A and B are shown apart, each in its own frame.
Chain A
Amino acid sequence: MRCRKCPRRAVINLARHRLALCPACFTDFVHQQVARAIKRERMFGPQERVLVAVSGGKDSLALWAILLKLGYRADALYVDLGIGEYSARSYAKVQAFAEQAHRDAQARLYVHRVPQKEGAGIRELAILTHRPTCSACGTLKRYHFNRIALEHHYDVLATGHNLDDEAARLLGNILHWQTEYLDKQAPTLPASVEGFARKVKPLYRLTEREIAAYAVINRIDYVVEECPMAKGSKLLLYKEILNQLETAQPGTKHRFYWGFLEKRAHLQGTNNLSMAEYDRQVLTPCTVCGQPTTAPICTYCKLMDRAKGVPVKSS
């Protein structure tokens, strides 16, 4: 197979775009898709400071690499969850990449170590507080992501969510008619309250396979193994089904998610209360830590109090 844009041999065939590309043309294609996402969804400008959440996996490391390639001011945060060998291997990949990013672009890496700061690894914290591990993990990561952004004055928080992640989440939300979550599925979420960074997903136009291919082609060394806690997750089941559909009908995933975004934009035009306005009405600062929450005490503070066995009281 030949590259559609030049005479070289193609290394990837994108059935959904009927496009076979060589390594150099594919790398350009990925950069263009991310640049288009940032512009179209008004994610951030060239002067704004971006904090990327990195895990050592392909999506987050590729995102950090691409933002630096495109000339953005992007630093990263790694949260060490204390999941044995898996966390050790992930951190090693993040650290190696960060050293390179520092040499090439003076980018900086923040590390938050859960076992040291919260007193136990995420699995132990989840058991102590009777929460599913992934839910406790989400609370913790969101909290520290917000905290670091606030302390170090970042304008934007970027995560490596890709087209497959968003399409699978959309399918799950629709199957269970969890319409209250649909608003949160936009690639750009405005700052909920003053002083808090907006959240963006610059990889929403790219599939997992495309991002993995970008990492392989550009020699980004990522942790191929999965977090052991992900086993049996619903999201993986939805992804598997969507990939079967995608193979039978190329373009299914992007038509599903992008179509939702278009419809959503139309609906928002008729809605008199924007999501940002709604958030401002229901969110107040947590009485313990000050982060925005709908309750007097935020989920993170409640979780940590329960883990320590201290009864929760608002001041």
Chain B
Amino acid sequence: MLNRFVTLFSLGFSSSQITPSPGPLPHLQTPSGPLYDASGMKVHLSHPEKTLEIQGPLSVGSLLERLHLTPEAYLVIRGDELVTEDEMLQDSDSVEIRSVISGGV
């Protein structure tokens, strides 16, 4: 429980985080580190447009967890098919993480 709130607040509800998109993901901006691998799967995020290479195999659920994304706010699409959290993603997969949140006013 505490853990969830730590995640909630470590994301920080600053104005940059409250965008309809996955946000700038500051922790992913360095082109090195454990999340990056030149031979990994291509993960595409929209708004802002961004493509990451992530080492597989890993499940959809762990992918979202590693990127600190709330599952309820995203769909994961492999090729052109939706996939559930338990599905395993491989290095050869092309993956889109699409934000589903919208709305002004």
Contacts and interface: CB of A to CB of B under 8 A. Distances in A.
Contacts of B17: 240
A248 B4 contact: yes
Interface string A205-224: 00111011100110000001
B77 A216 contact: yes
B73 A226 contact: no
A235 B105 contact: yes
The 8 residue pairs across chains A and B that have the minimum distance between CB atoms? A230-B104, A226-B20, A212-B100, A11-B82, A243-B72, A134-B105, A1-B84, A246-B72
Contacts of A244: 4, 7-8, 70
Contacts of B30: none
Task: Give the residue among B17, B18, B86 with the most A Cβ atoms within 10 A.
Answer: B18
A233 interface: yes
Contacts, number: 110
Q: Is the interface of B mostly helix, strand, loop or mixed?
A: loop
Interface of B: 1, 4, 7-8, 13, 15, 17-21, 46-47, 70-75, 77, 81-87, 98-105
B13 A237 contact: yes
Contacts of A168: 103
B70 A209 contact: no
B100 A13 contact: no
Q: Is the interface of A mostly helix, strand, loop or mixed?
A: helix
Contact of B103 (A137, A213, A225, A230): A230
Interface of A: 1, 10-13, 20, 23, 57-59, 134-135, 137-138, 164-165, 168, 207-209, 211-213, 216-217, 224-227, 229-233, 235-237, 239-241, 243-244, 246-248
Contacts of B84: 1, 10-13, 20
B13 A235 contact: no
B47 A216 contact: no
Given A10-B84, A11-B82, A247-B70, A229 B104 contact: yes
B100 A225 contact: no
Nearest to B21: A226
A217 B81 CA distance: 8
Nearest to B73: A243
B70 A59 contact: no
Contacts of A225: 46-47
A209 B18 contact: no
A1 B86 contact: yes
